[in-house]
A and B are shown apart, each in its own frame.
Chain A
Amino acid sequence: GQQLNQSPQSMFIQEGEDVSMNCTSSSIFNTWLWYKQDPGEGPVLLIALYKAGELTSNGRLTAQFGITRKDSFLNISASIPSDVGIYFCAGSFSSGSARQLTFGSGTQLTVLP
């Protein structure tokens, strides 16, 4: 099946710093999504990317759909304490009438004051 490699597994950064994380796949995806999950909650959608090469921003977050359709990255600028959480990439491909979403293993972000 589809597999996503997400890195880094964890990050410790100072408040105000920028952070970058990425996902790579052995297969092509039609869509890339980035989610954030806080403890005890479900993942919350941050950004959705639908075209190869697409660069999309949502406030301090910027994500890009790799031109090869096998990778994506997420940047967070000027990090703040509430950015703490686990960030997941997810890739989507169509299989008949089903559209499966495959998740990476997550990047645990810690923001130090």
Chain B
Amino acid sequence: EAGVAQSPRYKIIEKRQSVAFWCNPISGHATLYWYQQILGQGPKLLIQFQNNGVVDDSQLPKDRFSAERLKGVDSTLKIQPAKLEDSAVYLCASSPGQGDEQYFGPGTRLTVT
């Protein structure tokens, strides 16, 4: 079974630029999550989708972050404009339902200079 796929794996941008990350969850998984992991910390949930609807985006900085999952499968996370403090690894995870066993992708390491 293929795991969660993410791209790109690495991205370097200047502050105030825009960036987008892509995630393809495990086939058949209804729930998709985006996390931000700052160096030395555990992942922090940004947004949770159930199929193509948002379940929880309470910790998403909506002034600059946006995410969508239009067809209930792939998802994109966008940052516009980026700030230095956005430098982190952005992890995508999926689960079959709204259960707790989440499966993570390899992440995208973002560096904002």
Contact = CB atoms under 8 A, between A and B. Distances in A.
6 contacts: A40-B106, A42-B91, A43-B91, A43-B104, A95-B56, A106-B40
Q: Which 6 A-B pairs have the closest CB atoms?
A: A103-B42, A42-B104, A98-B56, A31-B100, A92-B100, A98-B55
B37 to A, nearest CB: 8
Nearest to B107: A42
Chain A interface residue count: which class? Answer: 20 to 34
A43 B55 contact: no
Interface of B: 4, 33, 40-45, 48, 50, 55-56, 91, 93, 98-107, 109
Interface of A: 4, 6, 31, 33, 35, 40-45, 48, 88, 90, 92, 95, 97-106
* SS class, residues of chain A in contact with chain B: strand
Contacts of A88: 42-43
Given A99-B99, A100-B56, A44 B41 contact: no
Which of A4, A44, A97, A104 gathers most chain B CB within 10 Å?
A97
A99 B102 CA distance: 11
